[in-house]
Structure 1
Amino acid sequence: MRSKKFGVLVLAASVACGGSACSVISVGGPPELARPADAADSMTKPFQRMVATSPQADWTPTQTVQGLLAAMASFDDVEQKILREYLTPEAKRAWKPGDSFTVVEDNPTVNQVKEGMVQIEATQIAIIHDDGWYEPKKEKRTLQVPVAKTKEGYRVSRLDNGLMLLTAADVRRAYAQADIYFLSGSGSLDDPRAIPVVDHVWLPVNPRRSLAETIVDRLLEGPSESLEGAVSTAFEGISLDRIDPGDETVVVRLEGQFKTQPAPVEALTRQLQWSLRELTKGRTIEVRLNGEPFYESSPLTIVPRQTETWLRSPESKVYFVQNGQLMWLGQDGASSAIPGPVGQLGEIYKEPAITGSPGPREGDPAEYVAALKNDGRSVWISRLAGDAQWEEAIKGTDLTAPSWNWNGTLWTVDRVDERTSYVLRYDMSALDQPVTRIAAPELNGKQVKAFKVARDGTRVAAIVADGEGVSVMVGVITGDKLDHFQTLWSAEEIKDLAWSDSEHLLALVGSGRTISEIDISNGTVRQLPGTDKRITSITALNDRLVAGTEADEKGGGKVLELTQDKWVDTKAPEGALYLTFPLD
């Protein structure tokens, strides 16, 4: 369990103060709202502070439960003293708060259903774990809360251990969303190619700390459960004293001793600047250690935009196959053929994947291409230049289209039968056994229809089918295992999948060929404009979304790009197949 030094001050929730319950509780006076005096500071998030109300002798059982839930949402009641006033002596001794919060939709129903029993009906939408991980999880919840008459009035006679609810309004009021950054791969602090990986967390606002301090406190705690074992951090052994904001320089005062020696300066620079970039607003960051300059004779300063070059972004050109020829399409609409044998896919290869530039090998600028053999039983690779020849990389029974990781590993899934799928990884730097079967226990019993590694080199996404339908699942690479999978979305039919960036997936859905965007940080799904029933495949890179249409009399379709909510013909050669951006 993680420490909660950055202030998990509420270990339960309010279903009472987002709607009518507050007016009911107003019998004893409504909860008070207050704003901090320094709300205008750009390093601090304005917030509303809920002041808990003690139970009243003349309240009904329903009002008592509403008051209990409102008291649970009070950040000022750090030790939950007022919350415990709502419990009978026996319940006080037995109740133990949990480490996570159940988030429900606003305005749940709280009613007395019989003598001595109050019922809460709510729609759960997520769980916020103690490390700030927001796990989307939607289901109906019905909770029974027993109450007993005492000489002080009604009190709750039993409260389930770990029962903690927050309404969506409570979360908006008392939490701040933050992107904190770690480095791709475990143990990759010295890898100059390691890129920042975002960990989107929800942090309870701490009135005793600025938002910047809360974010850095959380950064120093390490990754959330959703990334555990998949990323590395420079800050082991370090804590935060405070952050001093200034007009031109923000001073971050750290304490402790770095576990890695010498201190991993480049890594901590990337993590700190990316995690604070929304708050520093272009200001320089100065890092001090144990009250002294970071170095013996000089400070460590991080100038604005210093780390942007560390974020790898493939070249924004679309590759496709036309009449067996591998080609690429620039943003100006001009297309060019890839010369040499590697460009001649013919009727032998399909579904190419491109590493992009720079290449995956350190010191080697060459890009690589991988393609699936037409029979689906092997994946082949080649340098994307000169007279390079194709080489077999992976053998299987029924392989998914290959997917590159930026580090030079190549991934595919072998579908042995309808309920058995093996994840395979090819490492071009391995000399003896370049192909490894990767454990993925959460995919057991499912048929993997598509599999893609995100451009951050850490997350993976899959379209899976089982007896309950078709779903999109997202997990992470933890060494030789895929772990921490979440089922984000389900539909009757999902035809294709593409990463637009490391936090957003695009899914091509059903016969209507609609495209839905899935935010993996909170599970929200929105349908993009521009439906076109001809679309059969999609590929994306940041704000660019390109689609291929169904085959026509020339053997293939058109290449379309979504521009200002409309699909526009790119004028690429007709008959284009297998569209892909690099690292898609």
Structure 2
Amino acid sequence: MGADHDGGRRRTPPLLRTTAYAACGVVLLAGCASMPDRGDLSDVESTPRQETQVRVFAMPPRDDAPPAEIVQGFLEALTSDDPRFSTARQYLTPGAARKWEPEQSTTVLADGPDSQAGQSGGREESDDFTFTLTGTKVASIDAQQSYSPAAGDYSQTVHLTRDKKTRQWRIDALPSGVVMGKSDFQRNYMSVNKYYFASHTTSAGSGQPMAVADPVFVRERVDPMTQMVRSVLDGPTSWLRPVVRSSFPTGTALARGVTALTPDDQNRLTVPLNDKAARIGHGKCDEMAAQLLFSLQSLAPTVDEIELRAGGTQLCSLTDERATAVAERGAETHAAYLYFIDGRHRLVRMSSTGGNSAKADTVPGPLGDGSTAFRTMAVARDEHSAAGVALDGKSLYVTSTVASGSLGEPVLTSKGKTENDRLTTPSWDGQGDLWIADRDPADPRLLLLEKGGGEPLEVLAPGLDGRIKSVRVAADGVRIALVVEKGGKQSLLIGRIERDKSGEKPTVSVQELRSATPDLEQVTAVTWAGDSRLVVVGREAGGVEQAQYVQCDGSIPETGTLPGLTEVKSIAASEDSDAPLFATSKDGLLWLPGGSGWRTLKETASVALYPG
């Protein structure tokens, strides 16, 4: 990827040797340069996406290579599967090789960096030469492997010098970290979730700690399992750290001499730790093992047991079945029903498996009896209660979904003058708290109702710039998705929920809001669809409306785009990835079976929703 483009002045680059491990033996894969038997060397074009069993190795600099070829070879080496970038270091002087820290950052460009000889670059007959690397930034990965969308121009200088003894050109000054184009980044890196526990929230149903996903990127073919374990032990990323905890004692690391981790034939992974973990209790050890098990299953779903060891003895062993008794995770929660508001503005439900044969029934109680018309609703995650906003958007009600009774008085009322200036759709977290925004221009507020009632608590949002259109809180109660309007545009922002109970009155705030859809100018609908993934319906400037998956860090999964929809009113997804998607549009209630297009159901619906 670093070699996608070279400003139209591409030099013949060093070769990339590609090795594919298959049953029939080792083969050379077309698409990367390979070692030719005859003829001239050929240019390496943009590297296509390849299967995970493919390894790409860079070639070292050839003797008497000119400056342009040295720069090009170095950029190619950055995209290889060399674990410690040892081949890339061969393009550097000894001093530069010692100082260069490739793990500190990765800059992702729309295309590979162009390299252009600098104005003061000198001549090849001299002993120094300068190139400028340019491109358009797409994203950056920091030293913690955390992804952030980026924009703007990239411009960095590479300086080369000629060794006085060998007369070989080498790079002696270069930007920190690694730079590559988007296509090679997608080939080299994969997004995975590592897990920690929410510091101030527990499950409303079980009282267990809530597992929180912390998405990071690891190099896909450079022992990702060991990378993942080390990353979990290193602790959460800076953005998430204020609201989560790790059960690993400070200073815990892999035992000395452990360089690679591999599951055995029983899908059990043994993780030897240093002495920092030697004296932990059994309950704490189970939490540590659960963190690793959840994390590694996002990388290798077949891993179903973690054994932790320290000082030559077993600390604990945790299976996939037992992990559910240690902590609760949104993706492991299976909704019994899909809910929707029918043509009579009542709350209706049917089996969450969907299908044309599914039978819909009204929900017990006042939300389903038709006595009050509702515009939008949210069902609590235990499916025992729900919150509904009246048709005019003024009043919020909370009541049972399992027993009949009166609706009672509203728990919240908006004074907004129009429907669009009143209450948004509410949203429940896994702790049983209810979130909603009042869009009244005279008093716009983000509000929290603990356990769905009591005096509404105003949530501080110091970084909010615009008016909230939609609120969707994650099951873990730690992250919140806000669709925010400003200047006729709508953007999806992800914020960190911080709770402080140290004062006379508890305070809740949403901190460090960051964009998850920087390319969209309109966001129609959004919902969580996994521990770190959302489904978003929106459009880019001048584009058409489409539904797509996005990660909460702003990255796009490989299976990002979904089949097209038109005039979407709502979309429903579950954190459980096995549950189908539902949507409402001008065509009615739709569902999306795996691997096919949207199908229309017989039911009439204005809003579809899963619990949450």
Provide the secondary structure at the position in 1 that maps to 2:525.
strand
Give the counterpart of 1:254 among 256, 273, 276.
Answer: 273
1:560 to 573, 590, 605: 590
Q: C-alpha distance in 1, partners of 2:91/2:530?
A: 43
The residue number in structure 1 matching 2:547 is 515
State the match for 2:215 in structure 1: 200
Change (3 A) 1:307 1:538: same
Q: 1:118 aligns with which of 125, 131, 140?
A: 131
SS at match of 1:24: coil
Matched, 1:301 2:306: no
CA shift in 2, pair 1:377/1:77, >3 Å = same
Q: Contact 2:524 / 2:537 at 8 angstroms: preserved in 1?
A: yes
Aligned residue identity for 1:487 = S
Q: What residue is the counterpart of 1:455 in the other structure?
A: 475
Letter in structure 2 aligned against 1:15: G
Separation in 2, partners of 1:206, 1:513? 35
Equivalent positions of 1:84-483 (< 5 A) are 84-85=92-93, 99-112=104-117, 114-116=119-121, 117-145=130-158, 151=164, 152=167, 159-160=174-175, 162=176, 164-168=178-182, 171=185, 175=189, 177-186=191-200, 192-204=207-219, 210-237=223-250, 238-241=252-255, 242=258, 243=261, 245-248=263-266, 249-257=268-276, 263-277=283-297, 278-279=299-300, 281=302, 284-294=305-315, 300-308=316-324, 310=328, 311-330=332-351, 331=354, 332-344=357-369, 346=371, 349-356=374-381, 358=382, 367-384=384-401, 385-387=403-405, 389-397=407-415, 398-417=422-441, 421-428=444-451, 434-443=455-464, 445-467=465-487, 469-479=489-499, 480-483=508-511
Which has the higher mean CA deviation after the structures are superposed, 135-144 or 226-235? 135-144
- Equivalent position amino acid for 2:524 in 1: K
Aligned to 1:11: none
RMSD: 4.1
One-letter amino acid of the structure 2 residue matched with residue 417 of structure 1: P
Aligned twin of 1:4: none
Q: Distance in 2 between matches of 1:134 and 1:373?
A: 40
Q: Does the aligned pair in 1 maintain the 2:60–2:88 contact within 8 Å?
A: no
1:502–1:292 Cα change, 3 Å: closer
Asked if 1 retains the 8 angstrom alpha-carbon contact of 2:570 and 2:585, the reply is: yes
State the AA in 2 paired with 1:66. Answer: Q
Question: Counterpart in 2 of 1:363?
Answer: none
Does structure 2 conserve the Cα–Cα contact (< 8 Å) formed by 1:189 and 1:267? no
> Structure 2 length as normaliser, TM-score?
0.73
Q: After TM superposition, give the deviation of residue 483 of structure 1 in Å.
A: 2.9
Does the C-alpha gap of structure 1 residues 21 and 184 become closer, same or farther in structure 2, counting only changes over 3 Å? farther
Q: 1:1-16 maps to which residues of 2 (within 5 A)?
A: 15-16=2-3
Q: Does 1:546 align with 2:582?
A: yes
User: d(CA) in 2 for partners of 1:108 and 1:467?
Assistant: 34
Distance in 1 (alpha carbons) for counterparts of 2:173 and 2:531: 44
1:516–1:247 Cα change, 3 Å: closer
Matching residue's letter, 1:578: V
C-alpha contact (below 8 Å) 1:188/1:232 kept by paired residues: no
**Which deviations, in whole Å up to 9, do the C-alpha atoms of 1:438-463 show, x marking residues without a partner?**
232332x2122111112343332222
Tell me: CA distance 1:265–1:146, structure 2 relative to 1, closer, same or farther (3 Å). closer
User: Quick one: distance in 2 between partners of 1:454 and 1:187?
Assistant: 12
Q: Deviations over 1:505-547 (max 9, x none)?
A: 22333696542332445622743224344x4222223442222
Task: Give the Cα separation in 2 of the matches to 1:173 and 1:94.
Answer: 27
Instruction: Tell me whether 282-291 or 215-224 shows the greater mean CA deviation.
Output: 282-291
Match of 2:66 among 36, 56, 59: 59
- 1:85: how far off? 0.9
Asked if the contact 1:54–1:85 (Cα under 8 Å) also holds between the matched residues in 2, the reply is no
CA contact (8 A) 1:51 1:77 kept: no
Superposed CA deviations along residues 111-152 of structure 1, whole A, max 9, x for unmatched, are 225341523232322211111112233444244445677854
What's the TM-score once normalised by structure 1's chain length?
0.76
* 1:235, distance to aligned residue in structure 2 (A): 1.4
Alignment correspondent of 2:30 = none
**Which of 570, 576, 581 is 2:601 aligned to?**
570
For structure 1, the 5+ residue unaligned runs are 1-13, 295-299, 360-366, 551-556
Q: Is the 8 A contact 1:286 1:302 kept in 2?
A: yes
Counterpart Cα distance in 2 of 1:391 and 1:227 = 38
The match for 1:491 is 520
**Structure 2 CA distance, aligned partners of 1:18 and 1:144?**
16
Against the structure 1 CA distance between its residues 346 and 118, is the aligned structure 2 distance closer, same or farther, given a 3 Å change threshold? farther
For residues 447 and 379 of structure 2, what CA distance do their matches in structure 1 show? 18
In 2, Cα distance between equivalents of 1:516 and 1:212: 28
SS of aligned partner of 1:493 = strand
TM-superposed CA distance for 1:407, in Å, is: 0.8
For the residue of structure 1 that corresponds to 2:333, the secondary structure is coil
Q: Percent identity over the alignment?
A: 20
Tell me the distance in 2 between the aligned counterparts of 1:264 and 1:337. 44
Asked whether the equivalents of residues 425 and 437 of structure 1 are also in contact (C-alpha less than 8 Å), the reply is yes
Q: What SS does the aligned partner of 2:288 have? A: helix
